[in-house]
Amino acid sequence: MADCNETLRELEAFLDGELPVDTRESVHTHLEGCMDCLQAFDFHAELRTVVREKCRNDEIPPGLLAKIEQCFGEDFDGDGVIG
């Protein structure tokens, strides 16, 4: 089973639907047992929906999404998982 760091690393590809089926399965399995990752995935999924709705008629500027996620990403690293 994948650990948290591995799962979070697959987050983008997972939300983009770019993961192979077996990787999706192991991400799903991890999320069922890990509230931290589940919340992170939920949050990012919702963030994408909001950004997409706000930008429905516009292109999302390159790097904007990454920048937003970077801001929130600091939270994930701040809970003692790394370091």
E strand or H helix at 72, and its extent? helix 64-77
Stretch that binds Zn ion, among 32-40, 52-60, 61-69, 72-80 (CB under 5 A): 32-40
Single residue of 34, 47, 65, 68 touching Zn ion by CB under 5 A: 34
Stretch that binds Zn ion, among 19-27, 31-39, 41-49, 63-71 (CB under 5 A): 31-39
Rounded distance between C-alpha atoms, residue 10 and residue 4, angstroms: 10
Q: How far is CA 42 from CA 12, 61, 67, 69, in A?
A: 12, 23, 18, 13
Single residue of 2, 4, 13, 65 touching Zn ion by CB under 5 A: 4
Q: Which is nearer to Zn ion, 64 or 81 (CB)?
A: 81
